[in-house]
């Protein structure tokens, strides 16, 4: 598999890089100035740049398990997602933040089963507790007749939870209130290829196209 990556790099270096050398060198020398930040899942099947056909420098991508946003808090020491958000909003001054959820999310599956993914129980259980409100809402519904339906509903609910958590950061809330920043909830269906967005008026997800 490593050989495949090396072969891919050689194709990139002799193809894409050479064809776009001027733009890539400009990005290297002048720095990045993306207008959009995307909070995406670590899942290898969901690549925001591929889904949106974005070029290097166009998206500031923050990836973590289940594309979650923690609430703003000062406890603990390590805050990778929060630090990346602060850099995106305060330094890069992005104009949009998209929380990009997806179907068949392993993190959401584990959250509903209350079983950790992998051998280390502590890190993932603690991280997924961010979406516990989404889990509670889903389990309280009587219309979801299968575990698959519960997972789908929880994937959507978790996006809504993360959008609310984004606004607990004072510099995000201030930018939103000042009209300098917009927050979006998106959901990608891996199997169907459909992309949905959260309609803030109706509270429902609907197709982008």
Under the banding of pLDDT at 50, 70 and 90, the label for residue 74 is confident
CATH 3.40.1050.10, domain 32-207, yes or no: yes
Q: What is the pLDDT of residue 29?
A: 97
DSSP string covering 48-82, please? HHHHHTPPTTSEEEEEEGGG--PPP---SS--HHH
Q: Half-sphere exposure (CA, 13 Å, Cβ side) for 36? A: 16
Can you give the residue ranges of every domain in the chain? 1-30, 32-207
pTM metric for this prediction = 0.94
C-alpha to C-alpha distance for 208 and 143, rounded to whole angstroms: 25
Q: Does 175 score more than 60 pLDDT?
A: yes
Q: Does 170 score more than 70 pLDDT?
A: yes
CA distances (Å), 27 to each of 24, 55, 91, 92, 106, in order?
5, 11, 16, 14, 35
Q: What is the pLDDT of residue 75?
A: 73
Q: What is the pLDDT of residue 114?
A: 81
Position of tokens 């020398």? 29
């Amino acid at each position: 598999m490593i050989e495949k990556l090396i072969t891919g790099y050689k194709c990139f270096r002799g193809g894409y890089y050479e064809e776009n050398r001027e733009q890539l060198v400009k990005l290297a020398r002048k720095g990045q100035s993306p207008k959009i930040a995307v909070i995406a899942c670590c899942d290898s099947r969901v690549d925001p740049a591929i889904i949106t056909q974005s070029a290097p420098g166009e998206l500031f991508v923050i990836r973590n398990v289940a594309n979650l946003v923690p609430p703003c808090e000062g406890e603990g020491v390590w805050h990778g997602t929060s630090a990346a958000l602060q850099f995106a909003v305060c330094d890069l001054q992005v104009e949009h933040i998209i929380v990009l959820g997806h179907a068949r999310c392993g993190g959401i599956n584990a959250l509903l089963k209350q079983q950790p993914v992998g051998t280390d129980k502590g890190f993932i259980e603690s991280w997924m507790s961010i979406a516990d409100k989404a889990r509670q809402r889903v389990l309280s519904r009587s219309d979801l007749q299968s575990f698959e339906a519960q997972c789908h509903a929880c994937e959507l609910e978790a996006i809504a939870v993360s959008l609310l958590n984004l606004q607990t950061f004072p510099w995000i809330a201030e930018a939103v209130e000042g009209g300098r920043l917009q927050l979006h909830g998106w959901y990608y269906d891996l199997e169907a290829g459909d992309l949905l967005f959260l309609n803030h008026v109706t509270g429902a997800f609907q197709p982008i196209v």
